[in-house]
């Protein structure tokens, strides 16, 4: 089943042929991560994913987590996989050795997580949320907080969560009512209730550390008055040992469509008045802290959606090669013609190449964002660091919003390839489609990602982020024009890039006019069009790296030819549709906002 997690050949291609990960070893920070070491780490990640994590996927879905008397138990198989995962020190791969990390490039850690999440992302939410909570401690914690919590979180001895959402404060966090009252010793008494808390309670670690958004008494209303607190399930003594229970009570779990292996909890804090937290960062700066960490969280959600898509594609591809059904279309009139594998049927091939192109482009995009982080680490130029940060900022809504939208589409195509078998639980794509759906919702719905792209990112630094991105895309186009056989596709993508720039300017101006509502009604279509163009850039980049290798490496010729075919398909069949979407955006019809509420019917 190894090939049904992530395609090793494609992972290697992105790491080595597209981004040249081992070149990072020229820098002191990553000196030990040469090609041999990179390949060894990927091997180990793949083996762990296949042998230990993948078997938990179906078990987690069917057995799920159990809630009783305020306690949650996970399947026993999760605990075994968790112990092996911890022993391998996989939780904080890119972080400093001082705190339990491995100091590896984020690009390499992305490849390892490609395998882990492809095996079972519901399981991987436990370490994923722990890492995110740990980053908050690392970035904003006092020296005491780091000493008490950070290494234990990064090594997985303790786990972590994020406590943001409340019943009346979902996407609008400013409405939260959880309160914090300062005590004489500088700690805070926390009171409130949170919902939809992934990994909020379980029995895989002795302690769970909760970063909690709350409002200090008399703080300003809205998001300006929100602070961030560190609230452990069990209090932590000054010597690092665990103290008494901290009045963080699980009151229930959600019965969800998918990700049944992860505990999505309702938590009550301070129900008995005994929940104590310490301030993480500055008073009233909690949302600022959360936004600084949002890029990592949203990139992770993009990877979660993608992990379902890449697995679903590989399952569908294997099924199409094995499932015998129907004659070859060219032999339909021959009564003696044998039935053939369904991969021979044109419509099945259309679905497969659609999935292939999206999966390949999305993998490159996610890895690219991680690679930008590595370039920031090795750069000693402040202006360059700022430019790279800007590229990450503008790509995050695409990496989360567009990628998860397309990932769900890929899962749907995979189910269609299976036909009726795909809709039943006996086959894996049914679970993958269900698990994938939440990624379009949490960590900021994809509509919010679209609003972020239009309302914040386009105008940041007077449009510099957009221009910097266009420059990067143009570099690839220029290179591809010099590769025999890619000239036509490079030209098509260049035209789409130019049109996207026109659309961005139009929509930006419209958003500043009296037609602001109409502009934001087209935020999601703009996100989709921008994602199409950026994915075509990734596919062009891949093809430009692959095409020269076709003659040089005949053993891998089919793989390299496949990269060019993915580009050909996307540039010829998807980008023309994207151009039509951009025409619609330029028209900016106001029907969606002008229609009277009563006219919707119902």
Token pair in block for residue 358: 């999206």
Q: Which residues pair with 232 in a beta bridge?
A: 209
255 is a catalytic site residue: no
What's the CA gap between 44 and 109, in Å, rounded? 12
pLDDT for 172:
83
Asked whether 588 and 515 are in contact (CB, 8 A), the reply is yes
Burial class (CB in 10 A: 0-12, 13-18, 19+), 307: buried
Secondary structure of 181-210 as H, E, C letters: EECCCCCEEEEEEEEEEECCCCCCCCCEEE
pLDDT at 166 over 70: yes
CB within 8 Å of 170: residues ≥ 6 apart: none
Buried b (16+ CB within 10 A) or exposed e, 313-335: bbbbbebbeebeeebeeeeeeee
What's the distance, Cα to Cα, between the start and end of the chain in Å? 48
pLDDT for 412-469, tens place per residue?
Answer: 999 999 999 999 999 999 999 999 999 999 999 999 999 999 999 999 999 999 999 9
pLDDT for 99-124, tens place per residue?
Answer: 999 999 999 999 999 999 999 999 99
Asked whether 90 and 110 are in contact (CB, 8 A), the reply is no
Range 500-514 average pLDDT: 96
CB within 8 Å of 588: residues ≥ 6 apart: 506, 507, 510, 515, 518, 519, 522
| Residue 493 pLDDT level (bands cut at 50, 70, 90) | very high
What's the CA gap between 52 and 1, in Å, rounded? 12
Phi, psi of 3 (to 5 degrees): -70, -5
Q: Which residues pair with 160 in a beta bridge?
A: 209
Range 389-404 average pLDDT: 98
Asked whether 94 and 111 are in contact (CB, 8 A), the reply is no
| Residue 374 pLDDT level (bands cut at 50, 70, 90) | very high
Buried b (16+ CB within 10 A) or exposed e, 431-450: bbbbbbbbbbebbbebbbbb
Range 242-262 average pLDDT: 97
| Residue 33 pLDDT level (bands cut at 50, 70, 90) | very high
pLDDT for 290:
85
Q: Are strands 66-68 and 71-73 parallel, antiparallel or unpaired?
A: antiparallel
pLDDT for 170-206, tens place per residue?
Answer: 788 888 999 999 999 999 999 999 999 999 999 999 9
Instruction: Give alpha helix (H) positions in 67-216.
Output: 76-87, 106-140, 143-145, 151-154
- Of the chain, the percentage scoring pLDDT greater than 90 comes to 96
- The CA angle 245-250-254, to the nearest 5 degrees, is 160
pLDDT for 169:
81
Asked whether 72 and 252 are in contact (CB, 8 A), the reply is no
pTM as predicted: 0.97
pLDDT for 273-305, tens place per residue?
Answer: 999 999 999 999 999 888 878 899 999 999 999
Q: How many CB atoms lie within 10 A of CB 245?
A: 14
DSSP of 2-17: GGGT--HHHHHIIIII
Q: How many CB atoms lie within 10 A of CB 416?
A: 15
pLDDT for 3:
59
Asked whether 52 and 84 are in contact (CB, 8 A), the reply is yes
Q: What dihedral angle (degrees, nearest 10) is formed by the CA atoms of 34, 40, 44, 50? A: 110
Q: Out of 443, 494, 528, 568, which one is annotated catalytic? A: 443
DSSP 169: B
pLDDT at 586 over 60: yes
pLDDT for 523-551, tens place per residue?
Answer: 999 999 999 999 999 999 999 999 999 99
Q: Which residues pair with 194 in a beta bridge?
A: 267
| Residue 1 pLDDT level (bands cut at 50, 70, 90) | very low
Where do we find the tokens 């070491």?
A: 37
Arithmetic mean of pLDDT over the chain: 96
DSSP 398: I
Q: Which residues pair with 215 in a beta bridge?
A: 179, 226
State whether residue 309 is helix, strand or coil. helix
Delineate the domains of the chain, giving CATH numbers in brackets. 2-154 (1.10.540.10), 159-285 (2.40.110.20), 455-592 (no CATH)
pLDDT at 2 over 70: no
pLDDT for 4:
85
């Amino acid at each position: 089943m190894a090939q049904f997690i992530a395609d090793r050949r494609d992972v290697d291609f992105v790491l080595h042929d597209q981004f040249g990960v081992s070149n990072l070893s020229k820098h002191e920070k990553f000196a030990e991560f040469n090609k041999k070491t990179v390949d060894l780490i990927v091997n180990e990640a793949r083996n762990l994913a296949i042998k230990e994590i993948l078997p938990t996927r179906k078990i987690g879905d069917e057995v799920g987590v159990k809630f009783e008397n305020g306690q949650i138990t996970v399947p026993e198989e999760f605990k075994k996989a968790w112990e092996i995962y911890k022993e391998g020190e996989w939780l904080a791969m890119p972080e400093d050795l001082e705190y339990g990390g491995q100091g590896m490039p984020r690009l390499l850690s992305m490849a390892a997580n490609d395998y882990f999440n492809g095996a079972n992302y519901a399981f991987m939410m436990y370490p994923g949320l722990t890492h995110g909570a740990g980053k908050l401690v690392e970035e904003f914690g006092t020296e005491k907080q780091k000493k008490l919590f950070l290494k234990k979180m990064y090594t997985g001895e303790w786990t972590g969560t994020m406590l943001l959402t409340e019943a009346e404060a979902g996407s609008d966090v400013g409405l939260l009512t959880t309160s914090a009252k300062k005590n004489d010793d500088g700690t805070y008494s926390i009171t409130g209730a949170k919902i939809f808390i992934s990994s909020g309670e379980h029995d895989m670690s002795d302690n769970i550390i909760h970063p909690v958004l709350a409002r200090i008494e008399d703080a300003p209303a809205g998001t300006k008055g929100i602070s961030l607190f560190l609230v452990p399930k069990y209090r932590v003594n000054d010597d690092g040992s665990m103290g008494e229970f901290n009045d963080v009570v699980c009151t229930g779990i959600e019965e969800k469509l998918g990700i049944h292996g992860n505990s999505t909890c309702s938590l009550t804090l301070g129900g008995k008045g005994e929940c104590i937290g310490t301030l993480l960062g500055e008073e009233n700066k909690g949302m600022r802290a959360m936004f600084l960490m949002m890029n990592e969280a949203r990139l992770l959600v993009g990877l979660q959606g993608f992990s379902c898509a890449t697995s679903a594609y590989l399952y569908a591809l294997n099924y199409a090669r094995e499932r015998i059904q129907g004659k070859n279309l060219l032999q339909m009139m021959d009564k003696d013609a044998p039935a053939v594998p369904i991969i021979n049927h044109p419509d099945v091939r259309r679905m497969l190449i659609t999935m292939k192109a999206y999966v390949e482009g999305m993998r490159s995009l996610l890895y690219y964002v991680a690679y930008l982080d590595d370039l920031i680490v090795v750069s000693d130029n402040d202006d360059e660091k700022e430019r790279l940060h800007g590229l990450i900022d503008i790509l995050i809504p695409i990496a989360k919003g567009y990628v998860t939208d397309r990932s769900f589409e890929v899962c749907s195509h995979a189910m269609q390839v299976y036909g009726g078998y795909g809709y039943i639980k006996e086959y894996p794509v049914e679970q993958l489609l269900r698990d994938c759906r939440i990624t379009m919702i949490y960590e900021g719905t994809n509509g919010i990602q679209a609003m972020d792209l239009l309302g914040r990112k386009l105008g940041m630094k007077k449009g510099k982020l957009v221009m910097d991105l266009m420059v990067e895309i143009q570099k690839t186009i220029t290179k591809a024009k010099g590769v025999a056989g890619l000239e036509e596709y490079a030209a098509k993508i260049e035209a789409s890039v130019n049109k996207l720039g026109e659309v961005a300017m139009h929509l930006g101006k419209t958003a500043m006019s009296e037609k602001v509502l109409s502009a934001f009604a087209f935020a999601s279509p703009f996100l989709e069009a921008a994602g199409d163009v950026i994915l075509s850039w990734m596919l062009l980049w891949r093809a430009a790296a692959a095409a020269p290798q076709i003659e040089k490496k005949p053993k891998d010729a089919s793989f390299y030819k496949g990269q060019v075919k993915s580009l050909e398909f996307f540039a010829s069949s998807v980008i023309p549709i994207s151009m039509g979407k951009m025409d619609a955006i330029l028209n900016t019809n106001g029907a969606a906002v002008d229609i009277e509420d009563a006219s919707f019917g119902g």
